[in-house]
Structure 1
Amino acid sequence: MDQKTPPAEAARLNSAGMQALRAQSFAEAERLFVEAVSHDSAASALWRNVAAARRAQGNDAGELQALEAAIGVDRLDFLAWLRKAELHQRRSEDAKALEAWQAALQLAAQMGEVPPAVDNALSVGRTFVANSMARIASAVEAELQPVQHAMDETEKRRSGAFVDLALGRRRTFFNQCEGLYYPFLPADEFFDRRHFTWMPDIEAATADIREELLSLLADPGDALRPYVRMDSGIPDNKWSSLDHSLDWGACFLWEYGKPNLPVLDRCPKTAAALAALPSAHIPGRSPSAFFSLLKPHTHIPAHTGVTNTRAIIHLPLIVPEGCGFRVGDETREWREGEAFAFDDTIEHEAWNNSDDLRAVLIFDVWNPHLTVAEQELIIRYYTAADATGLNPAN
């Protein structure tokens, strides 16, 4: 037998079925589509047509059987998932409708532009999913509130991230190190404040540090330079708009383990506050400390840092309204005089949407999850590796 005959017959029957469907002869359309499927059961579109004819006759069970057959043939059949979602929602089978709508919306996200009728259907699905997830969230939050109330800072942040992830309200971010990666350290976006018992001390010096910064900016000389300075020959990229631009400027007090004495001499109170910190001292690598200056209407694009062996501290000094900072899935506002610590090997970005300058003191310390023995090991690793003259700078 010619193997092409059955699909050709299936096409003929499908065409006849479509004519019957348009003529509202739904039972005849179903008969023709079912016969077409008998010739080509691996065509998910034919199963969808069977479902359409049964839907027109109010046969929910038959429609569901045909749609599940279509999905059984092709798990990526978007229209089958869409019709299945509509069917379950119509029958008030909310859990099954939620599952089907989520599948349909996920497939739709990969399709780009869709016809208006389909987009209208998807809009219904988005509303259904949003309302369903809100119902789940309300029930979950009411149940968890007594437990979370008794949790410490770490437990609250971690359990909150768990709930948000389970409810689809956040993404998971991982370390992306441009240089040294230390395995098995927690990939936390912001470090809990309890790790840094000295934070109140440097916060208490905020007014003095800000005063020294303003004095420095009145006559910065060579102290102020663009933070982004790409080597020549690098193709255009996300940093090009900031390259050699003072839109994001920096005044370094320490840079890769080397003190910038002219700036330190002009900022003695800042220098003293930094000297009191438990910084990592690795020649040619750390610590670094600088005043970060972001001009109005400037955006620092999302990026990742060099190594997860450190924590980056921000001490906000001048923060007009309209400034923000995101690490991973958590966004925070800077508040003058309130320091925070984060892992810069997790994607982060910053912006100043105001009409005024934003200024932050930025410096690094050890990742608090490293033990003293591990800190010593890292220092010795770099000492030995750098002594060969072969070790990369990062």
Structure 2
Amino acid sequence: MTMDALARLEAAVDAFRARDFARAVEGLRQAAAEVPAEAMPWELLANAEAATGNDQAAMAALDRRLALDPRNIAALLLKGQLLEREGDRRAADANYQAAINQEAAGGACPPQMRGALGHARAFIAESRNRYAEYLRDTIGEPPTARVAMALDLLAGNREVFLQQPSVFYFPELPQRQFFEPEEFAWLEPMLAALPAMQAELEAVEAEKGGFAPYVVAQPNRPLPNNRLLDDPAWSAFWFWRQGAMVDENAARCPATMAALEHAPMPRIEGRSPVAHWSRLQPGAHIAPHHGMLNTRLICHIPIRTAPACVLRVGNEVREWRDGVPLIFDDSIEHEARNGGDGVRTVLLFEIWRPEIAEDERAALTQLFATIAAYDG
């Protein structure tokens, strides 16, 4: 770059700062013919062109920058603004989203473009709402919850969550967050025993013994990275733990133990069954996490419900309601929160995934028992 070219470029920049956009455009256009493309402030030329009403030339300048640097946040945001002004909302959305993605990936957004980045986020949110309304108005009421979720995913109003077990993944199982109670005939006799189970809970609580914090330290293991460690806000009364019956608790609650016999719980030495009352105090929050396996489902039989107490599995949130079990895949990210003033208690146990065949269950039982017995 010659000294004369550098001087003309600096004079054009000064003109832009003085808001003399016509002179800035003239000087920047001349500079564009003289300086190397990678040294040219294309975003500045685009701004000057747009300020004088020449959006086509502004777009051409931004395309020069993006040809050199396809993920330039400032250029993507400016191009989105021009396309929005032209009324091409879908193209504006695409450029805004690319800028947001780049910023999220660690790209540096110029400080002067922070406001534009905020506008881009608001624009995308509004676009998603418009799109969702268009789909609803055109298609009508979805016939099933699955179709409704598909439409929400298409409109960007829900996120996709998949199985991510922390220890063992069994392939080719359906990616379902919740299962419905009517899919499991064995739940009917369990629910018939609900009054007796509720009476047993009341008796145990009256004796003030048996519940202990769910998250506890294990001998010779690192402390769990869980803020509910040793916290009775989330506590358990165990019936089966790591495949062993807790005899004292089982003797106190014969109706609950009889009800559990109806469920297809895995029987794996050193590991399963697993069953307990899970109690969540007001204000308690079980942070998002994934279960160890995707070969099981977790079942909750509500023994005592509480208002404002919710379970989120993936992108779906449900409340515990009287007489309505919740069955879900805990290998999908999930969390629970008691936002009310009552104590929530459920009977929690695991069952085999219904899609796993008997011969596969036998093989997995042997595998998991072998793993449990391995001492390193």
Query: With structure 2 as the length reference, what TM-score do the two structures score?
Result: 0.90
Answering whether residue 198 of structure 2 is matched by residue 203 of structure 1, we say no
- 203, 206, 210: which one pairs with 1:215? 203
Question: Is the contact made by 2:181 and 2:324 (CA closer than 8 Å) also made in structure 1?
Answer: no
2:284 is aligned with what amino acid?
T
Query: How many Å apart are 1:51 and its aligned residue?
Result: 0.9
- Distance in 2 between the 1:243 and 1:174 partners? 27
User: Cα RMSD (Å) of the superposition?
Assistant: 2.6
Pick closer, same or farther for the CA change 1:355–1:20 going to 2, 3 Å.
same
Pick closer, same or farther for the CA change 1:130–1:181 going to 2, 3 Å.
closer
Equivalent residue number for residue 161 of structure 1 = 149
Q: Deviations over 1:102-131 (max 9, x none)?
A: 23333444568975x644434443343233
Matches within 5 A, 1:129-278: 129-145=124-140, 148-149=142-143, 151=144, 156-157=145-146, 159-221=147-209, 223-231=210-218, 238-239=225-226, 241-278=227-264
Pick closer, same or farther for the CA change 1:237–1:20 going to 2, 3 Å.
farther
Equivalent residue number for residue 75 of structure 2 = 80
Query: With structure 1 as the length reference, what TM-score do the two structures score?
Result: 0.86
- Distance in 1 between the 2:25 and 2:109 partners? 31
Pick closer, same or farther for the CA change 1:112–1:299 going to 2, 3 Å.
farther
Query: How many Å apart are 1:228 and its aligned residue?
Result: 0.8
Q: Deviations over 1:46-96 (max 9, x none)?
A: 111111221122111111111122122112211212211211122222222
Query: How many Å apart are 1:354 and its aligned residue?
Result: 2.2
Pick closer, same or farther for the CA change 1:33–1:282 going to 2, 3 Å.
same
Question: Is the contact made by 2:66 and 2:72 (CA closer than 8 Å) also made in structure 1?
Answer: yes
Equivalent residue number for residue 286 of structure 1 = 272
Helix, strand or coil for the counterpart of 2:37? coil
Q: Deviations over 1:328-370 (max 9, x none)?
A: 2211111122101111111111111223322111011101221
User: Percent identity, aligned pairs only?
Assistant: 33
Question: Is the contact made by 2:299 and 2:350 (CA closer than 8 Å) also made in structure 1?
Answer: yes
- 38, 41, 51: which one pairs with 2:37? 41
Equivalent residue number for residue 306 of structure 1 = 292
Question: Is the contact made by 1:36 and 1:46 (CA closer than 8 Å) also made in structure 2?
Answer: no
- Distance in 1 between the 2:278 and 2:355 partners? 26
Equivalent residue number for residue 336 of structure 1 = 322
Answering whether residue 313 of structure 2 is matched by residue 327 of structure 1, we say yes
Aligned length: 374
Q: 18-27 vs 329-338, which deviates more?
A: 18-27
Q: 291-300 vs 176-185, which deviates more?
A: 176-185
Helix, strand or coil for the counterpart of 1:242? coil
- Distance in 2 between the 1:26 and 1:99 partners? 29
Q: Deviations over 1:153-176 (max 9, x none)?
A: xxx32x333322222222222322
Gaps of 5+ in 1: none
Q: 320-329 vs 374-383, which deviates more?
A: 374-383
Q: 34-43 vs 265-274, which deviates more?
A: 34-43
Pick closer, same or farther for the CA change 1:191–1:276 going to 2, 3 Å.
same
- 78, 84, 92: which one pairs with 1:89? 84
Q: Deviations over 1:279-335 (max 9, x none)?
A: 211121111110011122111111111211111001122222121111122111111
1:42 is aligned with what amino acid?
E
Matches within 5 A, 1:336-375: 336-375=322-361
Pick closer, same or farther for the CA change 1:315–1:136 going to 2, 3 Å.
same
